[in-house]
Structure 1
Amino acid sequence: MTPNIEDLNHADMRVRYATMQAFIEMRNTAIAILSAALVPGVEEIRWRAAATLAWIGDASAIPTLERSSIGAGYELKYNCIWGLGQINDAAAIPALLGIVQADETESQDVRYNAALALLRLGERRYLEDAVDSDNEGTYRVAHAALAAVRWLSDQNSGT
């Protein structure tokens, strides 16, 4: 039985969680339903649908997540950008680079999230080069993402 997309905004958190889990278990067959939920409508449903697409992890959702992030509010954009990294496919790299390189009208949180996604996708070299960027926002998010990686690396090595 297909879950009800409206239940992504159910008042009971357990119902919302169970709905997300049901869509995730549907895997690729849920992608069309979740993608359709990204059109303008109830914002809570939109960003939860984006997060669910990310957890499914199918690269076919990348164009939808990318399109849906353009001009979106914070919650939807953040989850779309997080999803592009979570899916872990190189097809997301151009969109993520565009977010990291954006001007100051883009949220620093979203840009940092995109930088972390680039690291997950093996684009460390780009971020290392971006530390010398004339764009202060690009410099800041690249520096912060690389600092987080160094800190995590130090924690894992016991230093």
Structure 2
Amino acid sequence: MAETSLTAEPGKQDVVISREFDAPRDLVFRACTDPELVSQWWGPESVTTTVEKMDARPGGTWRVVQRDAGGSDYAFHGVYHEATPERIVDTFEYEAMPGHVLLETQTLEDLGGGRTRLTDHLIFQSVEDRDGMLQAGSQEEMIEPLERLAGLLQSLKQAAPAR
């Protein structure tokens, strides 16, 4: 089983998360940009994720709301700068902390043989912003969705008609 790696070097304002998937790049791209699919894997399993808007094109916007078992909502939004099967670049802002925007670049590398490496590079405005997010228990919350994405990709592959 592929493992997800998370790298956060002390004193730097970025985080890099990487995982290989047993799925072709076009399918991984679709799972990262199709609102119906994103709602199935984005965020921890303990919340319900609703994609309110996802216009994956340069200048398009996105908004996702998560609801926990207690009924509390957590909303996030951003703007796409690039959205191709090779690379997705967008901003990410947690609405409860306005003004703390990060830049996210997801690189989708075709490894051949129907495998894809997704590398998610998050650049925060400051080391403090990055460390605050990591200390809030978000490391697991950043890794778990990619594990859920792997399961979704397997389901999509199994449901797809043979070519």
TM-score range, shorter chain: under 0.3
Which structure has the larger Rg over C-alpha atoms? 1
- Relative to its length, the structure with more helix (as a share) is 1
Greater relative contact order (CA < 8 Å, ≥ 6 in sequence): 2
- Relative to its length, the structure with more strand (as a share) is 2
